[in-house]
Amino acid sequence: MTLRDQIVAALKKVYDPEMPVNIYELGLIYDLAVDDAGAASIRMTLTAPNCPVAGSLPAEVERAARAVPGVTSVRLELTFDPPWTKARMSEAAKLALGLEDIVSIKPVAPAHGPTRGTGRPS
């Protein structure tokens, strides 16, 4: 597992206290880069600029990344450009929050053979 993957795993243990989904699946992490020396750069956002955890969540993200063995430093940038939207959420997050039915339903062929345009078996 790469150092970046280990940081992602650590970030998946950080939750927005208002939602039962981790910040990575919520799409709050816009960018994560790690250089060969173990220096991590994280660009993140919050669900809204006036989010109640604006003062604590970025520090929690930084602590989680710093705790990963091999990480030598963490530079965290908090941005609101572009603004966060639900479209940034993973399918798993949308499902967990009940925001989207991600199960595709495929039409089933009639049990009695083909139809002839009437919707009824021929």
48-76 confidence digits (pLDDT tens):
888 888 889 999 999 999 999 999 999 99
Q: What is the pLDDT of residue 102?
A: 46
Q: What is the pLDDT of residue 29?
A: 97
Q: What is the pLDDT of residue 52?
A: 85
- The low-confidence residues of the chain, meaning pLDDT below 70, are 100-122
Cα dihedral value 46, 51, 55, 59, nearest 10: -30
Unique residue bearing structure tokens 């970025």: 58
Question: How many whole angstroms separate alpha carbon 101 and alpha carbon 71?
Answer: 38
Structural domains of the chain, with CATH: 3-96 (3.30.300.130)
Task: Record the pTM.
Answer: 0.77
Q: What is the pLDDT of residue 19?
A: 82
Question: How many whole angstroms separate alpha carbon 52 and alpha carbon 46?
Answer: 10
Whether 65 contacts 42, CB under 8 Å: yes
Question: How many whole angstroms separate alpha carbon 95 and alpha carbon 64?
Answer: 25
Crossing angle of the two packed helices 57-66 and 3-11, in degrees rounded to 10:
140
Cα dihedral value 46, 52, 58, 64, nearest 10: -110
Q: What is the pLDDT of residue 49?
A: 86
